[in-house]
Structure 1
Amino acid sequence: MNQPMLWGVGTSPYGRLPERRVEALAWEAVAEAVRDAGIRPDRIDAVVVGSVFGPPGVATRVQRGLGIRPVPMWTVENACASGTSAYHEAVEAVRAGRFGCVLVLGVEQMSTLFSGAIVPEATDPEGAASLPLPGLYALQARRYIDEFGVSPEQLAAIAVKNKRNGVDNPRAQLRSEAPTIDAVLASRMIAEPLTFLQCCPTSDGAAAAIVGGDRGAADDLRIESSAMVSGALWDHRSTEVWGFASVARAAEQAFAQAGRVPAEIDVLEVHDAFTIGEIITLEALGLAERGKGAELAPSGHTARDGAQPVNPSGGLLSRGHPLGATGLAQLAEIAWQLRGRAQARQVARHGVGLVETMGGGAAGMDGNACVVTILSTQR
């Protein structure tokens, strides 16, 4: 078995970019990743693309403009976890010796498809009932309020923290002055108790990564673990809120593979499409007991200068959420943090980083998939 390493990362800017072609967004991200890895495009042995709403043949459309020799290419769709699912396949391919160098790409252009919330799949009960994801996350939040006494102010603190971080991210979609808790709560109600400023925006963008073996390069990051789980049945017998169990299963595998415990993680990028999502995810990852995750942001524990910074990029709430690109955008941020190159948003302790991306939500399942990966600067 080979030790997989992260050689390079790159991204496009994020935002509503309907005038740009999907391929152009991808090319920008790939070009930066290739430069960052210090390789020529003809060094790439395979390409894995994560995309949810990309056009048919999106991988080949991207390849056409890259000058990459004819190599195996395939596309992965796993809802919001599409990009990190593609990354996981690349990691396992390198580990097994199938390929020596794999380009991973996540790309999405949503502004030309949706003006607001993503329309649910019509064949699912949620689609038939017109229950989009903001409503599903709102049900999570409502249960946490009723069961654990989570307050609206604690939910809003996630938005304040992540939007404050996003101000210092030049690639983020939303970079306006960070709101106060009162401003978050006063913004337009989307799905009670989640207000407008507690929801991620509709986004376009691309992100890329180069995964290869251990070549002895000082900048390469050690991929200590990568775990991907698919959704399991979720119904009236389930004791946790929707989405919790899939994150917990992936986290358990990732920590076991890396031989680490949650307290050893220095910096995290997690799936915060809605404020309640960060709270539930941190509990599922083991950073807090059930019902206590809402205390982390107000206490400063997850602030950029806190003990375990979470979403220093601004998270999905600020950076944006171009579905297929999101996981690789998170990976790029962790790479910059671990290398000490995150500029104004750099965290103090940055030896070990974690990325979590959860893709939801086929009806009757606790998510489509979840990926958790742990990386470090230690060789």
Structure 2
Amino acid sequence: MERVLIFRGMKAYIAGVGMTRFEKPETRDWQYWDMVREAGGKALGDAGIAYTEVEQVPVGYCFQASTAGQRAAYELGLTGVPVYNVNNNCATGSTALMLARQFVEGGISDCVLALGFEKMTRGSLGSGADGGDFRSSPVARHYGVMAARHGFEATPPTAQIFGDAAREHMEKYGTTEAQLAAVGAKNHRHSAHNPYAQFQDVYTVDEILASRPVHRPLTKLQCSPTSDGAAAAVVVSERFAQRHGLGDRVVEIVAQAMTTDTEESFASGSCIDVVGRPMSREAARRVYERAGLGIEDVDVVELHDCFSINELLTYEALGMCVAGESGKLVESGATTYGGRWVVNPSGGLISKGHPLGATGIAQIAELTWQLRGEAGARQVPGARVGLAHNIGLGGAAVVTLLRADRPVALGA
């Protein structure tokens, strides 16, 4: 009997995903366009389509020059399609994906390829394009909040602002260093089963705590590394999916929202707010409202654990627990296999790696594999609904809700 996919309204679907392994910078002698050729080729192959069918290409990256998106996309073909260069700090990849979804949902295009990549340098992130002058930095206001309350030290600035948020959380709610370390231990344990992860070593909480201090209370194994890598996603319309017989492969983008900083981000003078918890909470609220679903309907989550504290703050923002209870939540085992949710089965940013422009799309790749039942040893049993959360200082927070749709028999 012929099987068809039942679609609901004007929707966008993930039809194919691909990524490179995330690696320590300078591990391989390759260029960013080599990464994109690999990741993009995998995504097109996964969808079973040719690059000639792609109508638009948003490309996300942070550390390369203007039109690097074209240079990268040209490795897939020279078809003259529009290429958009996207830069939104650590939320760059999800921003490229959001543009792809909007093109499809708006009826402008039937097939869009979202790409994200980064070729980074070894060592901690500095202040980016401003060259170290925080007065001219796009995040000067954010660091100003930190400096007013905690001072400005010689440690890496991103680690400092998130470390200070961790101190505030500990002081206000009684969160412990062991609970913060439990995030790192969980995510490193998850990545042991991910062939795309930069790290595949397993550590205990004590070993996490004993690793090199970065900015108290954060240690090295609670911090995401710099990474090289790329990821890609093919986003298609209903009619494209039907025409190409993709019903068994597609995953629905049920809802997606981006928020930026509001007055709440700065009013409290707290690093907890300035690093993005209010943005994340509002983006999640909008997604739940649009989808008619809540966090209780979600099975698997890929969230932005750039530092262990941000995973805890995001639990609270997504409604997985009330403010101040996130340390207890991770300690209870509720966010790993056998718990209420599986959070960061890929290993997250802490262990999978964090090439800024690729991160948001790599989250979508992981969720797509999970919802198709293709995640191998890290498969979340029965996963049907997945949530991705990607955030960047400066700021932007993107939350995306995905759902697996299965083909149904005609007349069923």
TM-score (norm 1): 0.94
- Partner SS for 1:235: helix
2:210 is matched with: 186
Q: Contact 1:44–1:68 (CA<8 Å) still a contact in 2? A: no
Q: Does residue 110 of structure 1 match 2:120?
A: yes
Matched, 1:207 2:240: no
Q: Note the 1:1-379 alignment, pairs <5 A.
A: 2-18=10-26, 19-111=29-121, 114-119=122-127, 121=130, 122=133, 123-124=136-137, 125=140, 126=143, 129=152, 132-176=157-201, 178-214=202-238, 215-216=241-242, 217-233=247-263, 234-237=265-268, 241-242=273-274, 243-360=276-393, 362=394, 368-378=395-405
Query: 1:54 touches 1:107 (CA, 8 Å); kept in 2?
Result: no
The gaps in structure 2 that reach 5 residues or longer are 1-8, 407-412
Say whether the 8 Å CA contact 2:266–2:273 is kept in structure 1: no
| Secondary structure in structure 1 of the residue aligned to 2:389 | strand
Rg bigger for which structure? 2
- The worse-fitting range, judged by mean Cα deviation, of 48-57 and 348-357 is 48-57
Offset at 1:17? 4.1
Q: Which amino acid aligns with 1:99?
A: S
Q: Is the 8 A contact 1:155 1:275 kept in 2?
A: yes
Q: CA deviation at 1:185?
A: 0.7
Counterpart of 1:365 in structure 2 is none
* Structure 2 counterpart SS, 1:45: coil
What SS does the corresponding residue of 2:323 show, helix, strand or coil? coil
Report deviation, 1:133.
0.4
Check the 8 A contact 2:36/2:75 in 1, yes or no.
no
User: For the Cα contact (< 8 Å) 2:36–2:73, is it kept in 1?
Assistant: no
Root-mean-square deviation (Å): 1.6
Cα distance in 2 for residues equivalent to 1:118 and 1:224: 36
Q: How many residues align?
A: 370
Deviation at 1:304, TM superposition (A): 2.5
Give secondary structure in 1 for the equivalent of 2:259. strand
Matching residue's letter, 1:110: M
How big is the shift at 1:230?
A: 2.0
Contact 2:66 2:85 in 1 (8 A): no
Displacement of 1:55 after TM fit?
Answer: 2.6
Q: 8 Å contact 2:17–2:365 — kept in the other structure? A: yes
Contact 1:41–1:68 at 8 Å: present in 2 too?
no
1:68 Cα deviation (Å)? 4.2
Q: TM-score, normalised by structure 2?
A: 0.87
Compared CA separation, residues 343 and 201, structure 1 to 2 (3 A): same
C-alpha spacing 1:103/1:68, structure 2 compared with 1 (3 Å): farther
In structure 2, what residue type is equivalent to 1:317?
A: I
CA–CA separation in structure 1 for the residues paired with 2:400 and 2:78: 27
Q: State the alpha-carbon separation in 1 of the partners of residues 335 and 403 from structure 2.
A: 19
Structure 1: unaligned runs, 5 residues or longer:
363-367
Preserved CA contact (<8 Å) 1:304 1:345: no
SS in 2 for 1:241: helix
The one-letter amino acid paired with 2:229 is G
After TM superposition, the structure 1 stretch with the greater mean CA deviation from structure 2, 236-245 or 208-217, is 236-245
Query: Percent identity over the alignment?
Result: 38
